[in-house]
Amino acid sequence: MVSALGMTAVLGGCGSTGSSDVTLRLVAADYGDSAANSSRKYWDALAKEYEKQHPDVKVEVSVYSWNDVDRKVKEMVDAGHAPDMAQIGAYADYAAAGKLYPVSDLLSIRTQADFLSPLSDAGQWKHTQYGIPFAASTRVLFYNKTLFDKAHLTAPTTWDELAADATALKAQGVQYPYALPLGPEEAQAETMQWLLSGGNGGSGYTDDVGTYTIDSATNVETFTWLKDELVGKGLTGPVAPGKLNRAAAFAAFADGRVGMINGHPTLIQQAAKKGVKFGTVPMPGRTGRARASMGVADWMMGFKQNGHAEQIGDFLDFTYNEKNVLEFSREYGLLPVTSSASNTMAASDAPADKALRPFLEQLPTSELYPVGKTSWAAVSAAVKQNIGQAVAPGGSPSGVLTRLQSTALAADSSSVN
């Protein structure tokens, strides 16, 4: 599995064990890609520091790769042995099943108030927050400065400018003028960013009250434009968008074969390692800057089974202090989920912090997947499998989006939202 933030990881393992008045069990995902930067080190140090201040509480941490962590937690819950806390990719199913504490039962008012509002809002199920944002990311448009300079181009601010830039890049022999990864790995992300950029009516997957609007007129117009003006004119490269996965598109950008691509912060390091000179700008919209950037988050939650609300809340208040949030965010190139840490990072002149500034600026007004709907997992899977057909030769944007809307409504009616 890949986290919502597009991070992959390969490690598993457990933290320390021991006995004390209360033992809190935390299962967490690994954001590292090697033993050297495993999240295990972060959590072990955090737990040790907390235990030093709270000798009556023991924090037992298990860290698993994104391939395993959601399944591990599900197995624990199904077996009647839920952890006290889980830091994983989704919370809504557990909230709907009545297994989670509301955030207001756990965190201090000060901690609750510090979260960025789009993230707190996305953590709600039935208007009550159960999901606590843990790590966040946004998307911006990356462009290859070397290729743009060679073609005498400036970064686009509208769809027409993006198409014109892509046309000029193609004339220069650029393999992927605009990389459009609509393959099954992460097509729901590229899709949402384009839906949000489709003018004032661009609502993403849902409207303001959470009703699916996948086949809205604006969304159909957006995918019709993509099909006719980018894909149909050969501006998206040699691999059909429906076959192009995000990881392959990122790798091609890092190899200097892509002119433009929507990317999240991990692409900064990936491109820099290969020496690619790049710039970033907000995602262009139909007639100007997109209404909103797509935000994504991974989640922390507290399970009710063991009845440790007070201890869970105190540990999480500690976890979410500014120092700890900044330390985790900086270690993995992610965005802080709290206002205090975001403000500190935004004011920092450290090169790594400055590199994240374009993403940080997008976060307060970003829109997230409808993760508070228990139907979202099924809808996301359907988008991944089918959206590429909307821009394929002979494909029907209207037909594909209408079928996806039907799938979404059916999933919605059969789930508890």
What does the pLDDT look like over 359-380, one tens digit per residue?
Answer: 999 998 889 999 999 999 899 9
Neighbours of 26 (CB within 10 A): 24
Structure tokens at 403: 């079928």
> Angle 59-63-66 (CA atoms, 0-180°, nearest 5)?
145
181: closest CA among 212, 122, 226? 226
Backbone angles phi, psi at 354, to 5 degrees: -65, -35
Taking the C-alpha atoms of residue 124 and residue 297, their distance in angstroms, rounded to an integer, is 13
Which residues neighbour 240 within 8 Å (Cβ) at sequence distance 6 or greater?
388, 392
pLDDT, tens digit, 9 for 90 and up, residues 275-302: 999 999 999 999 887 878 899 999 999 9
**Mean pLDDT in residue range 18-31:** 84
| Rg, Å, the chain Cα set | 22
Q: Which stretches of 176-328 are assigned E, i.e. beta strand?
A: 176-178, 258-263, 278-281, 294-302
Residues facing residue 262 across a β-bridge: 141
Who wins on pLDDT, 207 or 101? 101
Q: What is the pLDDT of residue 416?
A: 56
DSSP string, 64-96: E-TTTHHHHHHHHHHTT---SEEEES--HHHHH
Q: What confidence tier does 5 reach under pLDDT thresholds 50, 70, 90?
A: low
pLDDT band at residue 417 under the 50/70/90 scheme: low
Spell out the domains of the chain, with CATH numbers in brackets. Answer: 13-137+296-368 (3.40.190.10), 140-292+373-413 (3.40.190.10)
Residue 413's pLDDT band (cuts 50, 70, 90): confident
Mean predicted confidence (pLDDT) in 305-334: 96
Phi/psi at 14 (nearest 5 deg)?
-125, 150
Binned at pLDDT 50, 70 and 90, residue 388 comes out as: very high
Please give the residue that has the higher pLDDT: either 256 or 412: 256
**Residue 4 — pLDDT band, cuts 50, 70, 90?**
low
Which residues, 6+ apart, have CB-to-CB distance to 333 below 8 Å?
Answer: 265, 266, 268, 269, 352, 356
Instruction: Tell me the mean pLDDT in the region 26-30.
Output: 95
Distance (Å, rounded) from C-alpha 9 to C-alpha 13?
12
Confidence at 203, pLDDT banded by 50, 70, 90: confident
Q: Burial of 249 by CB count in 10 Å (0-12 exposed, 13-18 middle, 19+ buried)?
A: buried
Model pLDDT, residue 9: 47
- Cα–Cα nearest to 383, from 401, 371, 409: 401
Mean pLDDT of 256-266: 95
Residue 49 binned pLDDT confidence (cut-offs 50, 70, 90): very high
Query: For 128-146, how does the pLDDT look when each residue is reduced to its tens digit (9 = 90+)?
Result: 999 999 999 999 999 999 9
- Three-state secondary structure call for residue 140: strand
Determine the average pLDDT of the residues in 2-7: 60
Give the pLDDT confidence score for residue 293 in this predicted structure. 87
Cα dihedral: 46, 48, 52, 55 (round 10): 110
Mean pLDDT computed over 247-260 = 96
- Please report which confidence band the pLDDT of residue 147 belongs to, taking 50, 70 and 90 as the band edges: very high
Q: Rounded mean pLDDT of the chain? A: 92
Report the pLDDT value the prediction gives residue 290, as an integer from 0 to 100. Answer: 80
Residue type, 272: A
Q: What confidence category does residue 182 fall into, taking pLDDT thresholds of 50, 70 and 90?
A: very high
Which two tokens mark 24? 């809190």
Extract the tokens encoding 368: 């997230």
Confidence of residue 14 (pLDDT cuts 50, 70, 90): very low
What's the half-sphere exposure (Cβ side, CA atoms, 13 Å) at 412?
16
